[in-house]
Structure 1
Amino acid sequence: MTDRLVVEGMERIIETLKQDQAPNGTWNYPFETGISTDSYMIILLRTLESHDENLIKQLTERILSKQQDNGAWKLFYDEGAGNLTATIDAYYALLYSGYYPKNDKRLQAAKRFILANGGLEKAHMFTKIMLAVTGQHKWPVFFPIPIEVILIPPTFPINFYSFSEYGRANMTPIMILANRKFHIKTKESPDMTDLFVSRDRNFYHTREEEQWRSFYKDVKSSIKKIVGFPQELHRLAINEAKQYMLNRIEPDGTFYGYFSSTFLMIFALLALGYPKNHPTITNAVNGLKSMRTELDGHPHIQYTTATVWNTSLISYALQEAGVSPKDPMIKQANDYLLRRQHVKYGDWVVHNPHAFPGGWGFADVNTIHPDVDDTTASLRSIASEVTLQPNVRGAWERGTLWVLSMQNDDGGWPAFEKNTDSKLIKLLPVEKAEYLLTDPSSADLTGRTLEFLGSSTNLVKTHPAISAGIDWLIQNQEKDGSWYGRWGICYIYGTWAAVTGLRSVRVRSNNSTIKKAVNWLESIQNPDGGWGESCRSDSNNEYVPLKASTLTHTAWALDALISVSEKPTRAIIKGIEFLVKNLDREDWTTDYPKGQGMAGNFYIHYHSYRYIFPLLTLAHYRNKFMEN
């Protein structure tokens, strides 16, 4: 019975994916990140006095559709009463839209929640900056990262390129804005002063300011010795920051393809004197609008698009499920992926100067910042083309060499740039600095890279890159046997990636590291046979059960166990039974975020995951246990 259900389940998923593929070979499943991007879009359009009323009204309707009965907005189902920052974002956007007055009962409920939870003073740093640039919040006396940092040569121990790619993209416009103490209001700007709880409306408390003023002065003094006069220093820093942004605008007009960096860049350009209707600003706004998707009849402005990621993972999963590489679905997907391989150098070359381009990025319009995970995912997908299409070999070799070149000195793999994990950077008084400003080796990236190298190349286990990756995973296993996954939720994700990676490079099932991981996975299996993990795991720095099973978490856990077992265990059988019985499930667990970008503040619901990982796991179950 189970075997038949496995085959039927796979067939249903394959048919769904066939129907959902776009004419250009891609899968454009939404990259959903809550309501903050929708809120910021309203605030941006109102600030620029761009009267796209249809979009603004529709976005307000989506925001309101997500409000809880207590007036708050949540980032995930089991967050508790609500999320203060998301509620501030939503309240401000609804008020600024002009469609809802302060005495609207829904806004009044939101206001009560905000005040009861600390007011605007307790918002996340990004929201405080947004409030500052729109005239609702004071800029601090100083910002902990002076704009002159951008002039420090890369040869210095701490410099601008010590920050991660994502950190530079967001901090560059912030440094311009903070330096100018820029703010802009319009005649439509609401009054948010009644949402402050205390009189202290600065970003940082006095103790923190005093602690970092000396650091600020030391940085400026050091750069002055290199560059010269303070006035010239300041002018050079401003110009360098401006050019950094302008030189990294993607073809769609966005800055690096991210919503947050593009939003901030627009305000930074306004601070530098650009008019609201300047072509660069207009193109940037249009780029953000192009990230629009539809969810439950409402528009949602995505933080970025996940087109390459979705397409590479789906194409690979389909091939694992038995769909021929010659099938039009796969051919079209791989043709798309081959067109998206990067040919230009990006900032990654600063720390990796001897490598050539060859990676893939995450989004559809991504030409300058590839990442390791998308590259290995794309290489898995086109692997079959290397033998079927000899002209693909060059792309394959460039991509594989780029992945190998990106290995950190500690043996693990980062996402975007190698060796950007300075302990000093983490000490800066920037909220979530360890997520925003660093790009360390992680179990998910290292495990998935090892899985690719073991399953799709002919490198031996004793190859220095593989042996170093194995050592990194062994050394970074948690005491309970799990691994933390930086880009997913969370310990189940990291453990799946680590175990499947280690098994792919021939680490034995009876190895103590593998056995500890298996024991942990089996110990957290739910009575219904599935697995589920709360988003609270990342903030708590320990596994927190969701107390409900999800398709994706179950698929990850099962895939790890299947990679280790020679025959179906009781845990595997129960898990497969849960998976096949719930493939069509539609409830809050289906919508629950499975990805993260900044612990406690940024979570991602990948609409593709409910198809990708169950299909991949069922395929691996069938291939290992049903065909032998």
Structure 2
Amino acid sequence: MTTVDALPSAPSADGVELALGAACDHLIGLRSPEGWWKGELQTNVTMDAEDLLLREFLGIRTEEDTSEAARWIRSEQRADGTWANFHGGPGDLSTTVEAYAALRLAGDPAEAPHMRAAAAFVRQGGGIEATRVFTRIWLAMFGQWPWEDLPVMPPELMFLPSWFPLNIYDWACWARQTIVPLTVVSAHRPVRPLPFDLAELRTGRPVRRCLRLGWEGAFGVLDRALHRYQRRPIAEVRRAALRRAAEWVVARQELDGSWGGIQPPWVYSLIALDLSGYHVDHPVMRKGIRGLDRFTIRDGGGRRMEACQSPLWDTALAVNALLDAGLPGDHPVLTEAADWLIAEEIRGPGDWAVRRPGLAPGGWAFEFDNDGYPDIDDTAEVILGLRRIDHPGARPAIDRAVRWMTGMASRDGGFAAFDADNTRTLCTKLPFCDFGAVIDPPSADVTAHVVEALAHERPVGSRTLRRAVGWLLKAQEADGSWFGRWGANHVYGTGAVLPALVAAGVRPDRPCVRRAVAWLEGHQNDDGGWGEDLRSYDDPRWIGRGRSTASQTAWALMALLAADGRSPAVEAGVRWLVEHQRPDGTWDEPQFTGTGFPGDFYINYHLYRLVFPISALGRYLRLRADDAGTPRGTLWPTC
């Protein structure tokens, strides 16, 4: 890390304006004819491996799909034979097993050098026996793992009322939509053998079952009881539970054929419905299978799947970036984006209403089609953008969204992504839950975005805003930073919270702000940028440490500009962005800086490297213009 005295001099205003103009031109060039933006949402190869396994299970796998997907999977294998969960990360056992199985399905022989290297890594890591439960479920469906050695998730869960522990609404929305179809799969225990065996991935050692105390031990006892029940369920109850689960799944299919617009519930729902008697020609199945094409990217690297798509999020961020850059609120680029955003407003109820039954709907989702699950984070960002655009339909949509968003506050004053008070940790103790977050408690980054939106839409002294600010102050880490739930990691959390606190009226000279500023300045890289490796979620030694990236540098800059805009650290960060910009106006960023599940699943949002630097550079120039007492001109005088 660098010191303030060692930081380089300020970049020229002309150079910053040129960089900002080039970035804005590039961003506007990415806009769709309908007015929205969508960058690729890149994840790891489990999406592609599981897509091939799904198609094999349903009997719809083609040679073309297989060869193209295998080409992509091979291209992502590292020199040591492994596959990682993020760029530059360590090899992951379960991801490597799933990629290996998909390549065997594509015809790659076990004796091939790249397959031998992968198998050696798997065996060294404990073999199939040490993989996560979800990987072993996939293997069990193809006869490569015994169902008896997997935790039982009975479909009778569907009968638990919403107030009872472990009911399906105790799970986060993404987990809920995955668990319900998996209860059907768990009940049927299908086996559709592969034309090969994966013996080379097994160690032969038994799965370790540690004697545990507390809830983990109690659930271990419960799981053994459920295994006995699984062998002889009450026939009428089981049939009714399976019927209810299938009906629940069908009722939540989106217009584009997806479930929640994300991969895990989508593939498991198709499998569950197949086991429930829905043939691949059934309209629900046809729509679900056809919808996967929309999430498929084909290019010179092969065929790869997006785990999700983020047009609402990307459009809101793009709109806010262009506004920060100085594009006027009546510009056609922004008014057309507002047209699209307003048309995407969710006006109907969803699963969130189970916890907030009297709340009127409003807000926005993350995806093109996810009407059952609007999310609070997207809603806050859309509000922040629409309020600055001259559009006659903006104010009614904002008012509805503010009412809904305010009503989604949890009891402790914080805000989660999709649900209110989704904080019961009991389900996290189940032996089934060894991968990813399964509940949706309030987080600092989402709460910060809500605070920033409400600071402009409600009086600063409003109770909801005041309680949310209090939540943020309590959530500050001992080192002065904030944890980032949906972005990597403390740089993201701190980058979201500081602008929100200042917008809500917290003075920049307050100790909470000064401690956060000191943390950011203390974690600036010698090159002037900021970076934080995703290993920081598992290893505290990585907190605030990593190679500089455009998005993370921008997050730090936006925080410092809000709290201490005249710091030498700001000048060095702006210089880093200007000097690392590509000729086309964007930035290189192979690093994953988005978070799906901390510690398990990460995302490279391809627009992050562009929209956040635009916001940071635009805010920097505005601050410099304010200091000089001169008005800023438009960057696009010919528009």
Which TM class, normalised by the smaller chain length?
A: over 0.9
> Compared with structure 1, are the counterparts of its residues 144 and 442 closer, same or farther at alpha carbon in structure 2 (3 Å cutoff)?
farther
Task: Let me know the Cα RMSD of the aligned residues.
Answer: 2.4
Look up the match of 2:567.
Answer: 569
Distance 1:517 1:16 in 2: 33
Distance 1:349 1:536 in 2: 36
Distance 2:88 2:544 in 1: 11
Which of the residues 41, 46, 67 maps onto 2:51? 41
Shift of 1:213: 5.0
| Structure 1 counterpart of 2:413, one-letter code | G
Distance 1:272 1:167 in 2: 21
Look up the match of 2:103.
Answer: 94
Distance 1:532 1:523 in 2: 12
> Compared with structure 1, are the counterparts of its residues 333 and 539 closer, same or farther at alpha carbon in structure 2 (3 Å cutoff)?
same
Distance 2:405 2:121 in 1: 47
| Structure 2 counterpart of 1:511, one-letter code | R
1:260-311 Cα deviation digits (max 9, x unpaired): 1111112112222333443322321211221112466433210111111111
Q: Secondary structure at the match of 2:589?
A: helix
Check the 8 A contact 1:146/1:216 in 2, yes or no. no
Q: Secondary structure at the match of 1:564?
A: helix
Check the 8 A contact 1:36/1:89 in 2, yes or no. yes
Look up the match of 1:126.
Answer: 134
Look up the match of 1:452.
Answer: 453
Shift of 1:318: 0.6
| Structure 1 counterpart of 2:79, one-letter code | D
Given the alignment of the two structures, is residue 53 of structure 1 paired with residue 63 of structure 2, yes or no?
yes
Once the two structures are superposed, the pairs formed by residues 210-359 of structure 1 within 5 Å of their partners are 211-212=218-219, 214-215=221-222, 230-294=234-298, 297-359=301-363
Check the 8 A contact 2:88/2:591 in 1, yes or no. no
Q: Secondary structure at the match of 2:603?
A: strand
Distance 1:218 1:26 in 2: 51
Q: Secondary structure at the match of 2:524?
A: coil
Distance 1:379 1:87 in 2: 41
1:560-605 Cα deviation digits (max 9, x unpaired): 011002x521111111111111122999971101111122321100
Given the alignment of the two structures, is residue 173 of structure 1 paired with residue 170 of structure 2, yes or no?
no
Shift of 1:157: 4.5
Once the two structures are superposed, the pairs formed by residues 154-169 of structure 1 within 5 Å of their partners are 154-169=162-177
> Compared with structure 1, are the counterparts of its residues 70 and 297 closer, same or farther at alpha carbon in structure 2 (3 Å cutoff)?
closer
Given the alignment of the two structures, is residue 420 of structure 1 paired with residue 428 of structure 2, yes or no?
no
Given the alignment of the two structures, is residue 14 of structure 1 paired with residue 24 of structure 2, yes or no?
yes
Shift of 1:332: 1.9
Q: Secondary structure at the match of 2:596?
A: strand
Distance 2:219 2:61 in 1: 42
Shift of 1:425: 2.4
Distance 1:542 1:141 in 2: 36
Given the alignment of the two structures, is residue 402 of structure 1 paired with residue 404 of structure 2, yes or no?
yes
Distance 1:75 1:90 in 2: 12
Which of the residues 160, 178, 201 maps onto 1:195? 201
Look up the match of 1:110.
Answer: 118
Given the alignment of the two structures, is residue 479 of structure 1 paired with residue 474 of structure 2, yes or no?
no
Shift of 1:108: 1.6
| Structure 1 counterpart of 2:427, one-letter code | I
TM-score by length of 2: 0.91
1:393-426 Cα deviation digits (max 9, x unpaired): 2211111111101111111000000001113223
TM-score by length of 1: 0.92
Given the alignment of the two structures, is residue 382 of structure 1 paired with residue 386 of structure 2, yes or no?
yes
Check the 8 A contact 2:263/2:308 in 1, yes or no. yes
Check the 8 A contact 2:41/2:310 in 1, yes or no. yes
Check the 8 A contact 1:492/1:556 in 2, yes or no. yes
1:60-89 Cα deviation digits (max 9, x unpaired): 111111111111112223423x11121111
Look up the match of 2:612.
Answer: 613
Structure 1 range deviating more: 436-445 or 279-288: 279-288
Q: Secondary structure at the match of 2:67?
A: helix
Look up the match of 2:634.
Answer: none
Look up the match of 1:225.
Answer: none
| Structure 1 counterpart of 2:105, one-letter code | Y
| Structure 2 counterpart of 1:556, one-letter code | W
Check the 8 A contact 1:349/1:355 in 2, yes or no. yes
Shift of 1:217: 8.3
Distance 1:344 1:136 in 2: 43
Distance 2:95 2:578 in 1: 35
Q: Secondary structure at the match of 2:547?
A: strand
| Structure 2 counterpart of 1:109, one-letter code | A
Q: Secondary structure at the match of 1:549?
A: coil
Q: Secondary structure at the match of 1:403?
A: helix
Distance 1:584 1:31 in 2: 21
Distance 1:57 1:329 in 2: 40
| Structure 1 counterpart of 2:219, one-letter code | W
Structure having greater relative contact order (Cα 8 Å, sep ≥ 6): 2
Q: Secondary structure at the match of 1:300?
A: strand
Look up the match of 2:559.
Answer: 560
Distance 1:546 1:198 in 2: 39
Shift of 1:212: 2.4
Check the 8 A contact 1:144/1:212 in 2, yes or no. no
Distance 1:296 1:447 in 2: 40
Given the alignment of the two structures, is residue 598 of structure 1 paired with residue 597 of structure 2, yes or no?
yes
Once the two structures are superposed, the pairs formed by residues 489-528 of structure 1 within 5 Å of their partners are 489-528=488-527
Gaps of 5+ in 2: 1-10, 630-639
Shift of 1:343: 1.5
Structure 1 range deviating more: 8-17 or 579-588: 579-588
Percentage of identical aligned residues:
30
Distance 2:28 2:568 in 1: 33
| Structure 2 counterpart of 1:525, one-letter code | Q
Distance 2:313 2:47 in 1: 20
Shift of 1:185: 2.7
| Structure 1 counterpart of 2:323, one-letter code | Q
| Structure 2 counterpart of 1:89, one-letter code | E
Shift of 1:230: 3.8
> Compared with structure 1, are the counterparts of its residues 264 and 307 closer, same or farther at alpha carbon in structure 2 (3 Å cutoff)?
same
> Compared with structure 1, are the counterparts of its residues 124 and 541 closer, same or farther at alpha carbon in structure 2 (3 Å cutoff)?
farther
Structure 1 range deviating more: 151-160 or 510-519: 151-160
Q: Secondary structure at the match of 2:548?
A: strand
1:109-131 Cα deviation digits (max 9, x unpaired): 21111111111112222212111
Distance 2:283 2:254 in 1: 14
The count of aligned residue pairs is 610
Shift of 1:16: 0.4
Check the 8 A contact 2:71/2:303 in 1, yes or no. no
Q: Secondary structure at the match of 2:505?
A: coil
Distance 1:612 1:544 in 2: 24
Check the 8 A contact 1:150/1:160 in 2, yes or no. yes
> Compared with structure 1, are the counterparts of its residues 482 and 123 closer, same or farther at alpha carbon in structure 2 (3 Å cutoff)?
same
Look up the match of 2:633.
Answer: none
Shift of 1:12: 0.6
Distance 1:192 1:588 in 2: 42
Look up the match of 2:547.
Answer: 548
Check the 8 A contact 1:591/1:605 in 2, yes or no. yes
1:127-177 Cα deviation digits (max 9, x unpaired): 121111222212245635432222111133442211111111111111111
Look up the match of 1:32.
Answer: 42
Q: Secondary structure at the match of 1:603?
A: strand
Check the 8 A contact 1:151/1:160 in 2, yes or no. no
Look up the match of 2:155.
Answer: 147
Distance 1:281 1:332 in 2: 35
Q: Secondary structure at the match of 1:281?
A: helix
